[in-house]
Amino acid sequence: MQAARAFNTSFFSSDEANAAVFESLNARMLRYEFGWAFYEGKQYDSSFSQGFKVQEALYKYIANIYNPTARIGDFYKGTIWRGSLDPEAGETGAIPIRVGKDTPEEKLRAAIANAWMVSSWDTNKTAHVLHGTILGDAAVYIRDDVEHEQARMEILHPSVIKFAEVDGRGFVKRYAIEEQRRDESNRVSTYRETCEHGEGEEIIFKTFRNGRPWAWEGNVNKAGEPVSEWVEMYGFIPLVLTQHINEARAWGRAEIHPFIKKIANIDDQASILNDRIRVVIDPPLEANFRKGDSEITFSTGAPTTDRPKPGREQQKIIYTGAKDNHISPIVVPLDIANVSANIRQMLDALENDLPELRDDITGNVATDTLIAARSRVESKVIERRTNYDRGIVRATQMQIAIGGFRGYDGYDGFDLDSFEAGDLNFSVAERSVFPETTTQKKEKIELRMLELELEQLEAGRNNREGV
């Protein structure tokens, strides 16, 4: 019964009346577990699965047949920031940088490139986007590593964030991070870190173990003494949260959350069809049974090592209490063509909701069909990119400010006042969603050749007129 209570439909509803439930820790943890189980194809075998199957009246032996969550995750992690980073943080690459006016452009680009390099962001960026796409939330923690004299961005799994308060601009005002680790005695302990604003620019950090103040390894003051509470004059909390889909709530929504019931119903019908086909193509060759009671009962046999899921391979037998001990096949006619067509219709409806799944968005020739199919997908990706772009800019700015304040290599000329001074004013430039097709490349070359020809004609006219 505990598993049946684990799944709660209200945890996925973010409407105004249900906002407090949606933003609760229990709801968020279930959404994370749910999303990741769908991504790994374990959604019908996880802790919440029995409750989910009961509430949605799903087939007992439902299997992961169509579930497109992994495809969705792979699509966005390869599209939000497509390709490799520009090692010089220029205007090309996966995250093209546009610097603002009156900024020290050369130094700023060098600092951004260094920030990405020490954070291994060329590889970590895909995991960050995957978290957001599948879980709904993604987090970056700016680590001030005094021991190694390095400021870097670290990906934080959102499930370790037990509490976070965010202001109207999206800046974190305070947080509590908690996770299970093994201590020096190899026992599992609960480690907790809190962070909040103090007076003025003060940022107050506190660390705990099993509910008591505890100086984590590396938490030392200037005198080298262990401390469980300390103050930094950052002026900001070094944690950046990104919502994949922002619905004006404290926490975000994953790409598949609105479609989980559609996915489950497709798997439901496909699983039943597959199992019915199993019975038809592999019928029992012999039936040894004992005459049952007069009441009608159903039996599929008990699970064994050889038959862990007997319901998938055995025909249900109805015991009627007849005297002749006669058995005959009870086969329900199955219109495979119509059932398959119904499943296909459901798949088409889902792919219409999630156009990034459609096959017609791939191709290397810019046909009218391809351009039309990509238009809806491009609109979605651009909308999703906005949150990720804003988040990476903010995290990089914090990293550079802390690194410059500490005097770490690669951040020369920057400090905690650089943002207010406008020296960290940059943004992520627009870029194409899909790679250029051969047709688009050809058209671009032809257009450039035409421009050059016009320039030559204009130059010749000017020469003749003596300009």
Burial, 61: exposed, middle or buried (Cβ in 10 Å; 0-12, 13-18, 19+)? Answer: middle
Q: How far is CA 397 from the centre of its chain?
A: 23
Q: Which residues lie across from 145 on neighbouring strands?
A: 150
Helix, strand, coil fractions of the chain, as percent rounded to 5: 45, 15, 40
Neighbouring-strand partners of residue 361: none
**Contact between residue 88 and residue 95 where contact means Cβ atoms under 8 Å apart:** no
Nearest to 146 by CA among 234, 223, 218: 218
pTM for the predicted model, two decimal places:
0.84
Beta strands in 264-389 (DSSP E): 298-299, 317-318
Q: 169 is written with which tokens?
A: 């601009």
Give the CA-trace dihedral at 407, 411, 416, 420, to 10 degrees: 160
CA distances from 431 to 80, 151, 384, 385 (A): 10, 28, 13, 10
User: pLDDT value at position 92?
Assistant: 94
Residue written as token pair 């996925």: 12
Please give the structure tokens belonging to residue 191: 């480690």
Q: Are 41 and 167 in contact (CB under 8 A)?
A: no
Residue 425's SS3 state is: coil
The DSSP code sequence of 344-356 is HHHHHHHHHHSGG
Q: In Å, how far are 102, 223, 244 from 427, measured between CA atoms?
A: 14, 40, 19
Task: Return the closest-CA partner of residue 244 out of 154, 345, 137, 161.
Answer: 137
Strand partners, 37: none
Q: From first to last of its 467 residues, what are the pLDDT tens digits of the chain?
A: 343 346 788 888 888 888 899 999 999 999 999 999 999 999 999 888 888 999 899 999 999 999 999 999 999 999 999 999 999 999 999 999 999 988 999 999 999 999 999 999 999 999 999 999 999 999 999 999 988 899 999 999 999 999 999 998 899 999 999 999 888 888 999 999 999 999 999 999 999 999 999 998 877 777 778 889 999 999 999 999 999 999 988 999 999 999 999 999 999 999 999 988 877 776 554 444 454 544 444 456 677 777 777 666 655 555 554 555 555 655 666 788 899 999 999 999 999 999 999 888 877 767 777 888 889 999 999 999 999 999 999 999 999 999 999 999 999 999 999 988 889 999 999 999 988 766 666 666 777 777 777 878 777 777 767 65
